[in-house]
Amino acid sequence: MNGQSALTGLSCIKCGGLYPADDRLTCDVCGTSEGILEAEYDMEAVARGLTREALAQRPMSMWRYAELLPVPAEAERPPLQVGWTPLVDAPRMAKMAGVARVILKDDGRNPTASFKDRASAVGAACARMFGRSTVACASTGNAASSMAGMAASMGIPTTIFVPERAPEPKLAQLLLFGARVLRVHGTYDEAYDLCTKACARYGWYNRNCAINPYLVEGKKTAGLEIGEQLGDDPPDWVVVSVGDGCTVAGICKGMRDMKQLGFLKRLPRVLAVQAKGASAFVRQWEAEAEEKLPTEDATTVADSICVSTPRNWRKAVRGVRKSGGTVLAVEDAAILDALRSMPRLSGVFGEPAAAAAWAGVLEARSQGIISADESVLCMVTGNGLKDIRTAVNAAGQPHDIDATLEAVAQVVGEPS
Ligand SMILES: *Cc1c(COP(=O)(O)O)cnc(C)c1O
Ligand SMILES: [Zn+2]
């Protein structure tokens, strides 16, 4: 009833080479940075198993899509509830943007408060399945805190490489989930490379999404959910912020699967949003280059998408292109404005990288990319409490008053 994985193997997205579905990470021919592998499934078996009737009986979590996940039914999984996050209609945001409809998919509601739990849940299950003693990961915060949480729920030790600039709440999560935290003097990119080397040296399981073909499958479940939750009335656009590109690539793949399976009537166009100061993926898209462009130093207030070298650009470019979508970058000032307007107009409080997607909606509207009669689903990839310092800076200060009604009246005026 809960379904069995229909995974058949792995294929290289560069050379097309085929591999069995074992615990390799990248293509032997194309190497560790170019040879990203894609999980392949027996789509006939998926179609037989993943019916509306079957889904009606399944758990309200990402594991309801067992056929399209790389984890066999008998494998141990984190006991936490990941995925099947709610949709929130935000009519006042729609009014502000001048579009027909804005829907938020609130992935800040996951157990460790970000979208990354979808990938980390698969990572923890795979590490156990492949008999690895430790999981390692390099992250600006969410991938790490999420991996630490999922691993803690299964009793798996974690070693986490963080860059110097990780926001404190994410660091606190890591330490409280019992991770061994190595704070690297350097950027995210340096922390990432060091983690990859350490995994090779110590035999740790590498959670880095860009090169681990199974983790991105977890991210796909957001696209599967969009297909199931909005299949009969799909939004015209799905808007996602981009760092490495795994999130947007996963969502694109999930929505394509749901289109193929007949759940999703139309494939939404995907708008990938970056911060201007960290827009390597946008440049890669605009150059239409088949090879990776040289790196430029990234800086943005949205720490989760502060990436100089998008590791999964090829999958992401393909996904956005197949959807008929496009990409754009927004200024940090626009991200901070969006950080303020989204919670006020919807009650959903996203971290800066989530606000970036909403800023992207407004920018796309003003550029005429999104038109007035179109509907938009905006992915809220992380909860606002993930980066309190930025939130407080953006929010301004409370009114300081004495404990008297006069003082209240000075602020709010006399009752009418
Ligand atoms: C990681 C992350 C992203 C971007 O995902 P990529 O796979 O790096 O493109 C966006 N928002 C939040 C909150 C994230 O943690
Ligand atoms: Zn290859």
- Residues 174-201: tens digit of each pLDDT: 999 999 999 999 877 788 889 989 998 9
Q: What is the pLDDT of residues 15-49, one digit of tens each?
A: 999 999 998 889 999 988 788 899 999 999 999 99
pLDDT of residue 1: 61
Distance 18 CA to ligand 2 centre (A): 8
pLDDT per residue over 304-320, tens digit each?
999 888 888 888 999 99
Is 406 strand, coil or helix?
helix
Q: How far is the CA of 305 from the centre of ligand 1 (A)?
A: 6
Q: Is the CB of 245 under 6 A from ligand 1?
A: yes
pLDDT at 261 over 90: yes
pTM score: 0.94
Distance CA 51, CA 70 (A): 18
- Asked whether 284 and 313 are in contact (CB, 8 A), the reply is yes
Phi, psi of 370 (to 5 degrees): -100, 135
Cα 380 to Cα 69, 115, 137, 153: the distances in Å are 23, 8, 23, 24
Matching residue, tokens 């991200």: 335
- Whether residue 376 contacts residue 87, with contact meaning beta carbons closer than 8 Å, is answered with no
Nearest ligand, measured from the Cα of 24 = 2
Answer yes or no: is pLDDT of 165 > 90.
Answer: no
Task: Give the number of whichever ligand sits closest to the CA of residue 309.
Answer: 1
Rounded to 5°, angle at Cα 184 from 144 and 388: 55
Q: What is the pLDDT of residues 356-389, one digit of tens each?
A: 999 999 999 999 999 999 999 999 999 999 999 9
- 256 token code pair: 């394509």
| Exposure string over 66-81, b if 16+ CB within 10 A, otherwise e | bbbbbbeeeeebbebb
Distance 242 CA to ligand 1 centre (A): 6
10-24, 54-68, 147-161, 200-214 — which is least confidently predicted? Answer: 200-214
Beta 326-330 vs 205-206: how paired, if at all? unpaired
Per residue in 56-106, pLDDT (tens digit) is 999 999 999 999 999 999 999 999 999 999 999 999 999 999 999 999 999
Q: Is 250 in the pocket of ligand 1 (CB under 6 A)?
A: no
Asked if pLDDT for residue 251 goes beyond 90, the answer is yes
At residue 209, does pLDDT exceed 90? no
Q: Is 244 in the pocket of ligand 1 (CB under 6 A)?
A: yes
Task: Give the CA count within 13 Å in the CB-facing half-sphere of 176.
Answer: 10
Mean pLDDT value across residues 115-144 = 92
pLDDT at 85 (0 to 100)? 98
Counting ligand 1 atoms within 8 A of each CB, the residue from 137, 140, 142 with the most, and so the one to mutate, is: 142
Nearest-atom number in ligand 1 for the CA of 281 is 9
How far apart are the CA of 241 and the centre of ligand 2, in A?
27
Picking from 293, 119, 124, 137, the residue whose alpha carbon sits closest to that of residue 222 is 119
Question: What is the predicted pLDDT for the residue at 140?
Answer: 65
Give the mean pLDDT of the chain. Answer: 93
